[in-house]
A = this chain, B = another copy of it.
């Protein structure tokens, strides 16, 4: 055994444990009866303890040092070592008592948040959230020292390895300049559209599911290595070669669940397309959250809200639900799926206004981690930001700074990856359709194989072989900028191409 093969075997075991956790997490969200919550929490906590013991195994440092001086390794093996060192550095950065304190603070804060949101009671949440924030600052400092990063960038790097607030500032400032005026322009354009006719339901869950499955198959989802189920909050999860997605059906409106399925299918195609030879190694993992979100948004926003796709899919919707009349024309469906309307709630936002929600959260969490703003001022700062970025007046904190679970649950540094993903999606889709002229005509016939073939070769199959910037540069010719995304928005929402 070489040091490299020892390391690979060890991280293979960590992966086997993570896969178990992935399926148990899926089960908790999809299958578990209520009364099992406590039993399950104990199992999950134990597996996390076991996993922590494995990722901080004392032998890893030696193995790494030896393997890194092994001249016989190829590019994938070297990249695997780079990723192992990165993961190991982060995983060993925190003292155990900080991990435990954070875990407890998060549990308490999440529970308090459910009540605070329902009652629009920021003051009630404040002490709990302050504790979580305080511990996140400590975590950011501890990781930042190891990684040579600011506390915020260290937190960001958990989701976006190689990401930095300097780069995000530039991208988001660019977007923030563009979006408010552009949104007004789009709203004016859409005000001239004919009134949207209702799609008369109800739409049976089973029919919605069958149509979702049909479109998943068209996109290239492999049902031998995954499933579609129902959960309160749709997600893509599971394990290697067991990539499960969920949705939530509304019998009064099939359009959201359907597009949600296509979004999650984008995530799943990425997971199903990771390199089989390195599935259980850090180098075989998905590259970053921005790349992950780019794959869901590429499918949802770039491909499936296009006129080409809706010309293919609308007749299937008509067939499935027995729809007839003007509301069921593919042009009407395209207008429905490209409707822009500034609102309070991030998860209900459209493609144009979504980044404004993200920019606001990013700026606020960065300031809070840097201690540049008192947490008590969050509601006012939130509402000011919503006014200036989106032009809306937030009526209460329930529809304001209490709407998301990310901060109460310790997910600081995550928000920016949503809009990095949206920009990345635009840039990748643009490069793909230029490189492969068959992609758009394929989408128009429900044949996604040209698109997925290109993504497999240029994104999915690369895993974490390259850093994000290099991956994007190899695939699209340059690192991420906002230009293609803005051009896409202008073409779709103003030129209405």
What's the Cα separation between A222 and B42 when bound, in Å?
21
Residues of the B chain whose Cβ atoms lie less than 8 Å from the Cβ of A42:
12, 16, 19, 280
| Cβ of A456 to closest chain B Cβ, rounded Å | 17
| Contact in complex: A242, B33 (CB < 8 Å) | yes
Q: A43-B239, A240-B39 are in contact. Are A225 and B16 (CB under 8 A)?
A: no
| Contact in complex: A242, B16 (CB < 8 Å) | no
| Contact in complex: A46, B16 (CB < 8 Å) | yes
| Cβ of A210 to closest chain B Cβ, rounded Å | 16
Q: A19-B43, A39-B19, A47-B20 are in contact. Are A32 and B241 (CB under 8 A)?
A: no
What's the Cα separation between A188 and B215 when bound, in Å?
60
| Contact in complex: A227, B46 (CB < 8 Å) | no
Q: A45 interface residue, CB < 8 Å from B? A: yes
Q: A13-B46, A24-B24 are in contact. Are A242 and B35 (CB under 8 A)?
A: yes
| Cβ of A242 to closest chain B Cβ, rounded Å | 3
Q: A36 interface residue, CB < 8 Å from B? A: yes
Q: A39-B242, A239-B43, A240-B39 are in contact. Are A227 and B33 (CB under 8 A)?
A: yes
Q: A40 interface residue, CB < 8 Å from B? A: yes
Q: A31-B31, A35-B222, A224-B35 are in contact. Are A46 and B24 (CB under 8 A)?
A: no
Q: A39-B241, A242-B40 are in contact. Are A46 and B33 (CB under 8 A)?
A: no
* Residue in B closest to A37 when the chains form the complex, CB atoms: B241
| Cβ of A463 to closest chain B Cβ, rounded Å | 16
What's the Cα separation between A243 and B43 when bound, in Å?
15
Residues of the B chain whose Cβ atoms lie less than 8 Å from the Cβ of A222:
35
Pick the contact of A223: B33, B224, B227 (CB < 8 A).
B33
| Contact in complex: B33, A224 (CB < 8 Å) | yes
| Cβ of A54 to closest chain B Cβ, rounded Å | 9
| Contact in complex: B35, A241 (CB < 8 Å) | yes
What's the Cα separation between A238 and B33 when bound, in Å?
11
Interface string of A59-86 (1 = CB under 8 A from B): 0000000000000000000000000000
Q: A16-B46, A24-B23 are in contact. Are A34 and B239 (CB under 8 A)?
A: no
Residues of the B chain whose Cβ atoms lie less than 8 Å from the Cβ of A23:
23-24, 27, 40, 43
What's the Cα separation between A46 and B240 when bound, in Å?
15
| Contact in complex: B33, A17 (CB < 8 Å) | no
Residues of the B chain whose Cβ atoms lie less than 8 Å from the Cβ of A40:
19, 23, 239, 242
Pick the contact of A33: B20, B27, B226, B280 (CB < 8 A).
B226
Residues of the B chain whose Cβ atoms lie less than 8 Å from the Cβ of A279:
39
Q: A50 interface residue, CB < 8 Å from B? A: yes
User: How many of A's residues come within 8 Å of B, CB to CB?
Assistant: 37
What's the Cα separation between A280 and B39 when bound, in Å?
9
Pick the contact of A39: B27, B43, B45, B239 (CB < 8 A).
B239
What's the Cα separation between A16 and B36 when bound, in Å?
12
Residues of the B chain whose Cβ atoms lie less than 8 Å from the Cβ of A226:
33
Give the contacts of A212-245 with B (CB-CB under 8 A): 222-227, 238-242
| Contact in complex: A34, B224 (CB < 8 Å) | yes
| Contact in complex: B36, A239 (CB < 8 Å) | yes
Q: A177 interface residue, CB < 8 Å from B? A: no
What's the Cα separation between A20 and B458 when bound, in Å?
37
What's the Cα separation between A16 and B225 when bound, in Å?
28
| Cβ of A355 to closest chain B Cβ, rounded Å | 35
Q: A377 interface residue, CB < 8 Å from B? A: no
Q: A100 interface residue, CB < 8 Å from B? A: no
What's the Cα separation between A32 and B227 when bound, in Å?
8
Q: A24-B23, A39-B240, A39-B242 are in contact. Are A17 and B32 (CB under 8 A)?
A: no
| Cβ of A350 to closest chain B Cβ, rounded Å | 34
Residues of the B chain whose Cβ atoms lie less than 8 Å from the Cβ of A242:
32-33, 35-36, 39-40
* Residue in B closest to A222 when the chains form the complex, CB atoms: B35
What's the Cα separation between A12 and B40 when bound, in Å?
13
Residues of the B chain whose Cβ atoms lie less than 8 Å from the Cβ of A19:
39-40, 42-43
Give the contacts of A1-60 with B (CB-CB under 8 A): 12-13, 16-17, 19-20, 23-24, 27, 31-36, 38-40, 42-43, 45-47, 50
| Cβ of A251 to closest chain B Cβ, rounded Å | 17
Give the contacts of A106-143 with B (CB-CB under 8 A): none
Report 23 cross-chain contacts, Cβ distance below 8 Å, ordered by A residue: A13-B46, A16-B39, A16-B43, A16-B45, A17-B46, A19-B42, A19-B43, A20-B46, A20-B47, A23-B24, A24-B24, A31-B227, A33-B226, A35-B242, A36-B225, A36-B238, A36-B239, A36-B240, A36-B242, A38-B241, A39-B240, A39-B241, A40-B242
A-B interface, 9 closest residue pairs, ranked by CB to CB distance from nearest: A36-B242, A35-B225, A35-B224, A16-B46, A20-B43, A16-B42, A16-B43, A39-B240, A19-B43
